Homo-oligomer: A and B are copies of this chain.
Amino acid sequence: MNARAQTQADLGFVEQRLAHYKELTIAQLLRYVPDKEPRRYLWDLVTAYPRRAGKGLRPGLCLATCRAFGGEIAAGLHCAVGLELFHNAFLVHDDVEDDSEHRRGEPTLHAAHGLPIAVNVGDAMNVLSLRPLMENLRLLGPSVTLQVFDEIEHMVRESVEGQALELGWVRDNAVALSERDYLRMTLKKTCWYTCIHPCRLGALVATGGGVDLDTFNEFGFFMGAAFQIQDDLLNLLGDEGRYGKEIGGDIAEGKRTLMLIHAYDHAAQDARERLHAFLASPRCERSDADIAWVHALMERTGAFERARICARELAQAAAERFELAYGELPESPDKRMIRELVGYMIERDL
């Protein structure tokens, strides 16, 4: 097999296992959704995002880590369900906050059902996540159950801090930002809940606390940041049908991506002023032509190339940290999946 065919095989392997874990998680998740009124205004809507196509990264990483550390799927499944509920709650509120139009190929929840109902549905998903986490008690006992709550509390705190940075920068039209600022925001907004926390939870429930959870922090940071940069690249360069959101939506929203920061930093004075004015204008006044101009500016300043390099370097660093966190475990399909997930983060096209 040549290198390209090998990569394709790895991607297929990762996607297959993610899909398997996602299926297990969603089936279990749906059992926690109350079968009662109010359906149309609440409980039916809670299942909208989880039912849509998604990669299932977080439950997959949690369950694979749990198994790689010798745990049963049953030990990790409640955490995976809780994580997936938190993630979807986060998406619902994130879409409201960014006023995004599409999510996973369909209208966002607030676009379809109105903002008030969407905010409330997000709150409902957050509270639903408590029930599976309480279920840990029977299988894992009170100590691990309460440690999981500790982990969750930390993870959500990181997420709201990262979200606050991103929203605050947009609101105040911050432009003097560096790659370092971007990575700090991404560490909080994305890496904690997408990578670091799922690994920590999986190892915690598998070992009952017998492993130093901080081993996963750098691994999760590097992998999560690579994931986020790839996500931002796909938002600008991807195939709308596969990606499921409007292409260029991040530009319309004024999101401080690595590419936007790079473009601003490397633009000539007049282009920089035009970009600043674009970002200062009300969202509804940003035309398709303006968005295309920002896109071209990114291209011209080498922002896409810089982002690709950055994502590759981060993935490389994650691969090294993988050895520290998982290297001594016996080989297993789950260990292989996590190792190959690092490459998947920057090779994926959706």
Contacts and interface: CB of A to CB of B under 8 A. Distances in A.
B97 A116 contact: yes
A180 interface: no
Interface stretch (A151-159, A317-325, A340-348): A151-159
A293 interface: no
The complex is assembled from copies of this chain, and their number is 2
A34 interface: yes
Contact of A131 (B117, B124, B131, B153): B153
A160 B124 CA distance: 6
A54 to B, nearest CB: 20
A119 B146 contact: no
Given A38-B168, A164-B38, A167-B41, A97 B120 contact: yes
Contacts of A241: none
Contact of A165 (B38, B97, B156, B163): B38
A34 B158 CA distance: 11
Interface in A25-69: 34, 37-38, 40-42
Given A38-B161, A41-B167, A164-B42, A130 B149 contact: yes
A156 B120 CA distance: 11
Given A97-B115, A149-B130, A161 B42 contact: yes
Contact of A124 (B119, B157, B168): B157
A160 B93 contact: no
A265 interface: no
A142 interface: yes
A123 interface: yes
- 6 closest A-B pairs (Cβ-Cβ)? A41-B168, A142-B142, A97-B116, A42-B164, A127-B156, A41-B164
Interface of A: 34, 37-38, 40-42, 93, 96-98, 113-117, 119-124, 126-128, 130-131, 134, 137, 142-143, 145-146, 149-150, 152-153, 156-157, 160-161, 163-165, 167-168, 170-171
